[in-house]
Amino acid sequence: MEKQMLSPKEIAETMIGVGTKKAKGKTSHLLLLGVMAGMFIAFGAVGAIVMGAKVQDPGLSKLLGAAVFPVGLMLVIMAGAELFTGNNLMTIGLLKKEYDMKALLRNWGLVYVGNFVGSIVVAVLIKSSGLFTGPVGDKAIAIANAKVNIIAQYGFTGVLSRAILCNIIVVLAVWLAIGAKDTTGRIFACWFPIMLFVLSGYEHSIANMFFIPVGMFAGANITWSQIWLNNLIPVTIGNVIGGAVIVPVIYYWIYLKEDSKEKEHQMRTSLKPLKKS
């Protein structure tokens, strides 16, 4: 019977190939696919805001909003797009020496910009659509205000911790989706982990690129400098720590480091000059 899921070691090896393709991607492709990913995550966020406004029970509204939000990552994984937080896993290929830091940062930079543009495009369209009025608009404003004020309430460490925890879960969702061999497996791989991070109250930089601006467009009294300084910058740093350091470094050390050492040993051995008889 064929396996329905790759083993963790097989996922790590597959991620090397995935990361290599991403590192070599064309600039225009990375930007456009980044825009698409920003839009996809924003689509999920729209549904989460609507559910939060329409359902009166606080616990149920949060659960239903969290259940809708993962559609964004499903679209990224299965329709094809470039998401900054998911691409944090590319450090596993960096450790394997398949590409250098310049290629990694190039991908991250282009994709991050694309994600931001895509998020703002959806936020502008939502503003002009008239959909975020009344209770839905009030909910968007409340979410934006809460996210901008989070650093004042919990401090830099609190925001950083929430962002680290968030992207540990996000990259694990991507990790599981890469390991799944069919559409159903990929859906569940995205759905449950992402629903968990939303329910837990963690902070995701790309989602916040939509949540905060759309709340500002709906009437929240906040500025772009507050959006970046009070949320996006510290959240991005935390996301990188969780998604680019903790998960890929541990999995590289467990599943790939010994293979790399063995390969290097074999290369050194094959290059040793033969002894004269």
- For 44-97, write each residue's pLDDT tens digit: 999 999 999 999 899 999 999 999 999 999 999 999 999 999 999 999 999 999
Give, in order, the Cα–Cα distances in Å from 241 to each of 134, 181, 247.
Answer: 38, 29, 9
C-alpha closest to that of 150 among 137, 168, 138, 162: 162
pLDDT of residue 265: 46
- The values of phi and psi at residue 258, to 5°, are -65, -35
Domains of the chain (ranges, CATH numbers)? 8-128+144-254 (1.20.1080.10)
pLDDT (average), residues 252-264: 76
In this structure, what DSSP letter does residue 29 have? H
pLDDT score, position 264: 53
Q: Which of 125, 45, 41, 44 is nearest to 82 (CA)?
A: 41
Q: CA–CA separation, 243 vs 167, rounded Å?
A: 5
pLDDT at 261: 53
Written as one letter, the residue type at 255 is: Y
Label residue 140 exposed, middle or buried (CB < 10 Å: 0-12, 13-18, 19+).
Answer: buried
